Chain A
């Protein structure tokens, strides 16, 4: 059972993704944030909380306030041990090649997917092994 964190300003996608996760039966705890800032704050507050530290983060790019890339910039400042156990996937409706290339520069970003998520995509994400970096 995986621990998920969903970050998207669009509540419908959050709902949709949450439902697919639930229906797949692979998800354990699912935390949902509509603002990247709040998600980051939670992560900062829970650095010692191994119980709830997410294993997969689905991150939208274009969001009001802190956007996906700003989140990645802050996330990479967390201790290596905390980052290495997490697979971040970009899940976006952007088809800007630049966004794709930019996100590929982060070692902890494992994939770039166009919305909407599907059970097939979820299986790919789940099966992707952790990297050493």
Chain B
């Protein structure tokens, strides 16, 4: 720009002055334009700054953060972007009921005022759909002044119906600080609207993410639980008690470390886990049925008490008192309709208890019931095992249980080790043939096969081979048993070597005795023969002498006396022989011909007394009767002999009536005579050895003794009835020995 030259005089001052003014005007105009340009640039700069900050907010808001942090970010961004003194945001969610408020550091809107403020803001927009942002300077009467003394304020309320979100946003300057801040101007409204939409979008997004995350978390918790359950159940051992402990541990874990207590009924027995509440619970387990009594008399399976009150636990002063105020959650443990205990949880006070949790502890208590049942079964099994082990091991009999196909030994007891001298381990590697001598293998295998087939139950005196090679004898009783689906044979061995030896010795002794008996018998015969020979010679000679010449009657009487004495001695010898024979000889069982035998005996003995005697015989026996003929004959000879010898000299002729009757397995032989008879004082002694009833008798005192001995040997009896001077009746009863 050039000014007119001053040395040129022909310049018109007026013209110059006018030009200057014009120039001045133009400069001013230019300057205004320039100012306007600067303003415009500044405004653009600020707009840019606003959007850049909004951009910043957007990117920061995408980061994961809690609602409180987000709200704080919103307020900080709001202050930053809109250059206000303070900001307020309130996010309300329909379903989550989350109210989040943030304001400026060092400055707090009172809690009670927040809801009021939020309501005020949202009310402004409830019926003014066209307006998005309100910006104004509230006067003294404005309702907003009740919350806070704003000098100027800008606010909005945005909603997202689908997400159920309502967000109120406010920025403002207080009356105190109005000099330091530009008042909030309308030109901010557009940006504020954009910002509020962004906050809403961010929050909607965050809510959705949150929901997804919650679902995901729920899933992972569920998975965690399931894996915990699986781990616990997979880790089960044979010991039910340790499994119960595992279940209780698991229960505590699933309830986030709540104290879990398994209390068994009627027993001061607690299984505990978890650490919430009284950690020394296990040491205080003096109470019984504490949790059980909380259930009362009802039959409910589960019980939820949101808060344990003192009156609930005062009836049972026990470890329960350590949980006063906590939430109680219990499930009864039952099997076979009988409650055997309680699984209970104590956890921080909590009103709501989801059904799924109740379901879970019901399952856990069922698992405990299963373990308890198994424990009973295990104990019962152990009991019966113990019982059988005691019988098996304590038996004095040796017991071997062997395979029925390989004959390999499966079980052996202690007694059998002692019997055979092998150790248990040695025996378990052996089989049947190894414990018997080789020469009886066929016999043993035959016997054992019969046993397995059920054809025999025992085998007697089986030779058995000890480890040291010696042999003993055993009676073996067998039993085929089924163990675990396998057919086995149990053999019960009794060592009978001693019995066998004893019997062997007895048999040998017996045969020795028999030999001695036979020798003795021969001896008795020989002696009797040798004794009788000279007697019979005397007898014969006396008779011969009598025939040689006539003697004086007196001499003849002497000869008779000699003969009588000789006969008596001969009788004695014969009777001793009979006695010996009865005592010593075996009983021969042969059919008895009573009629023939009695007739023969009578014919033999009737000569021994000079006077005649009449014998009547009646036999009523059908079928054969068995006894020992020699003994019966001796018996009859003695009784009939007595009737012949002791006849009564009287008017009536002597008689002997013999009747034989058979009934059942007995024969009764009755001998009735009319002889001298026997005095009552003698009756109970006549069967005694060497007892003689009469001084005049020619008897030896052995005859009836032998009779009694014979009937004893033949399983019979002999009785007598007699009246002196009338006669005697002897009744013999004999058993049919067939």
Contacts and interface: CB of A to CB of B under 8 A. Distances in A.
Interface of A: 10, 12-13, 16, 19-20, 23, 62, 92-97, 114-118
Interface in B537-569: 537, 539-541, 543-544, 547
A118 B533 contact: no
Contacts of B533: 10, 13, 93, 115
Contacts of A114: 536
A122 B445 CA distance: 73
A12 B533 CA distance: 10
B529 A115 contact: no
A12 B544 contact: no
Contact of B528 (A13, A95, A117, A118): A95
Given A20-B544, A118-B543, A93 B525 contact: no
A94 B541 contact: no
A118 B536 CA distance: 11
14 contacts: A16-B537, A16-B540, A16-B544, A20-B544, A93-B529, A93-B532, A93-B533, A95-B528, A95-B532, A96-B529, A115-B532, A115-B540, A116-B536, A118-B540
Contacts of B543: 116, 118
Contact of A23 (B528, B547, B577): B547
Given A16-B544, A116-B539, 13 more contacts: A10-B537, A16-B537, A19-B544, A23-B547, A93-B533, A94-B528, A94-B529, A95-B574, A96-B525, A115-B536, A115-B537, A116-B540, A118-B540
A16 B541 contact: yes
The B interface is mostly helix, strand or loop, or mixed, namely helix
B536 A93 contact: yes
Given A12-B541, A16-B544, A118-B543, A95 B536 contact: no
A117 B547 contact: no
Nearest to B574: A95
B521 to A, nearest CB: 9
Contacts of A20: 544
B731 interface: no
A62 B529 contact: yes
B671 to A, nearest CB: 22
Contacts of A12: 537, 541
Interface of B: 525-526, 528-529, 532-533, 536-537, 539-541, 543-544, 547, 574, 577, 630
Contacts of B630: 97
A36 B32 CA distance: 198
Nearest to A20: B544
A118 to B, nearest CB: 6
B525 A94 contact: yes
Nearest to A13: B537
Contacts of B541: 12, 16, 116
B622 to A, nearest CB: 28
A19 B544 CA distance: 8
Contacts of B574: 95
Given A23-B547, A95-B574, A97-B630, A13 B529 contact: no
Contacts of B577: 95
Contacts of B529: 62, 92-94, 96
B563 to A, nearest CB: 11
Q: Which 10 A-B pairs have the closest CB atoms?
A: A116-B540, A115-B536, A93-B532, A93-B533, A16-B540, A12-B537, A116-B536, A94-B529, A96-B525, A93-B536
A10 to B, nearest CB: 6
A23 B541 CA distance: 14
Nearest to B581: A97
A62 B539 CA distance: 19
A118 B540 CA distance: 7
A119 to B, nearest CB: 8
Q: Which of B529, B577, B630 gathers most chain A CB within 10 Å?
A: B529
Contacts of A92: 529
B396 to A, nearest CB: 52
A62 B532 CA distance: 12
Contacts of A118: 540, 543
Contacts of B532: 93, 95, 115
A19 B539 CA distance: 14
A96 B540 CA distance: 20
Nearest to B526: A62
A116 B547 contact: no
B535 to A, nearest CB: 8
A117 B529 CA distance: 16
